[in-house]
Amino acid sequence: MALPSSAMYTALCVLPTCLGFWKSEYGVSYAYGVSLALVASHALFIGEPLTSTVAVAHATLLLCYGVRLCLFLLYRELTIPYFREFKEKIEERAKARGSRLSRTPFVLGCSFLYAGLAAPMILTASADPSPITCYLLGVAFVGWALAAVGDAQKTIFKARLGEGTLVTNGLFAFLRHPNYTGEMLMWTANLLAGALNVARPSALALLPSRASLLTLALLGWAGITFVLMQAGRNLQARQEARYTGVVEYEEWKAASWGGITLPPKKTVDQAPADSPKGPADEQATSS
C-alpha cells in the first residue's frame, strides 16, 4: 500500500500547520487543507498503488477536500477585503498574547486534529472494503459537495449583494448552515467508513494493530464535530443578535434547519455575523 510511514504521516500533518507560526489564522485555514491534501496525495501518488478502488476513493475524498478548501480560501483572501483585514486582526491579537513560539501548543493541537481526520483513510486501506464502507464513502462525498456548493452559493450572493446579505435561498432555504452540516456529515461518514472497515468480523484480526489509528480517528472526529457545533452555535447567536425581529429572518428560521449545534450561551459574542472563530469558520462563514 502507498501509505505514509508514521514519521512521514506526522510530518505531513505538522509541517503545513507550522504556517500558524507565520500567520496564526493560517494554522486553521490553509494548513487544514494542505495537511489533508498532502496525506491523500502521498497515498495516491507515492510508492505502490493502493490495493482497492475504495481506498483510492477515500484518498480522493480527502484530496478533493483539501484542494477545494485551499482554493476557496485563496480566492476569498485575494478578492474580499474583509477577510484580509480580519486575518490581520487575528494576527495582531496573536502577537499581543506572546511570541510566535508560544503558539507551539496551538500548532501541535491543530496538527493532531488533522492527523485524526486523515486516519480513517488508512483504516480503509488496511483491509478489503465492505459494502458498508462503499456506502459511507458515498455519503461522505455528498457531505463534501453540500459544503462546497453552500460556500460557492454564499460567496456569489455576497459578492453581488454585499457582505451583510442574509442568504436564504438555494441550499440555505432548507439548511441555515449547509457548509457546517455538510462537513459534519462528511467527517462522520469518513470516520465510520474507516472504523467499520476494520471492526467487522472478517477484519477483526487487524484491530489490535490498528487500535492507535482508530483512537486517533475517533479523537479527530470528536474534535472537528465540537468545532462545527461551536461554530454553528456562535453564528446562530450572532444572527439572532443582528436579525431578530426582521420578518425575512424569522420566516427563514422557521422554515429551515439550523443543524446540530452546542446549546446557546447566555451571553452573545457581538462580533460581526460572519466573523470566523476556528477551522470550520475559516473555510465557510455563513450569513
Give tens-digit pLDDT for 171-218. Answer: 999 999 999 999 999 999 999 999 888 776 666 666 676 788 899 999
Task: For the chain, give the DSSP string.
Answer: --PPPHHHHHHHHHHHHTHHHH-GGGGGTHHHHHHHHHHHHHHHHSSSPPS-HHHHHHHHHHHHHHHHHHHHHHHHHHH-HHHHHHHHHHHHHHHHH--GGGGHHHHHHHHHHHHHHHHHHHHHHTSPPPHHHHHHHHHHHHHHHHHHHHHHHHHHHHHHH-TT----SGGGGTBS-HHHHHHHHHHHHHHHHHHHHHHSGGGGGGTGGGHHHHHHHHHHHHHHHHHHHHHHHHHHHHHHHHHTT-HHHHHHHHHSB--S-PPPPSS---S-TT---SHHHHH----
Task: Please tell me the pTM assigned to this model.
Answer: 0.88
Task: Look at residue 124 and tell me if it is in a domain.
Answer: yes
Is residue 118 scored above 60 in pLDDT? yes
Instruction: Quote the pLDDT of residue 272.
Output: 44
Is residue 139 scored above 60 in pLDDT? yes
Task: Look at residue 1 and tell me if it is in a domain.
Answer: no
* Domain count for the chain: 1
Residues 151-172, mean pLDDT to the nearest whole number: 88
Q: Which region among 65-69, 115-119, 271-275 has the lowest average model confidence (pLDDT)?
A: 271-275
Is residue 36 scored above 70 in pLDDT? yes
Is residue 285 scored above 50 in pLDDT? no
Is residue 257 scored above 50 in pLDDT? yes
For residue 224 the three cell numbers come to: 472537528
pLDDT-derived band at 3, boundaries 50, 70, 90: low
pLDDT in tens, 37-93: 999 999 998 867 777 899 999 999 999 999 999 999 999 999 888 888 888 999 999
pLDDT-derived band at 279, boundaries 50, 70, 90: low
> Which of residues 269 and 106 earns the better pLDDT score?
106
> Which of residues 141 and 80 earns the better pLDDT score?
141
Residues 144-168, mean pLDDT to the nearest whole number: 90
> Which of residues 86 and 142 earns the better pLDDT score?
142
Is residue 116 scored above 60 in pLDDT? yes
Instruction: Quote the pLDDT of residue 281.
Output: 55
Proportion of the chain above pLDDT 70, given as a percent: 88
The parent domain of residue 72 ranges over 6-283
Task: Look at residue 206 and tell me if it is in a domain.
Answer: yes
Task: Look at residue 228 and tell me if it is in a domain.
Answer: yes
Bridge partners (DSSP) listed for residue 175 = 257
Q: Which region among 80-84, 135-139, 218-222 has the lowest average model confidence (pLDDT)?
A: 80-84
Instruction: Quote the pLDDT of residue 274.
Output: 45
Instruction: Quote the pLDDT of residue 198.
Output: 76
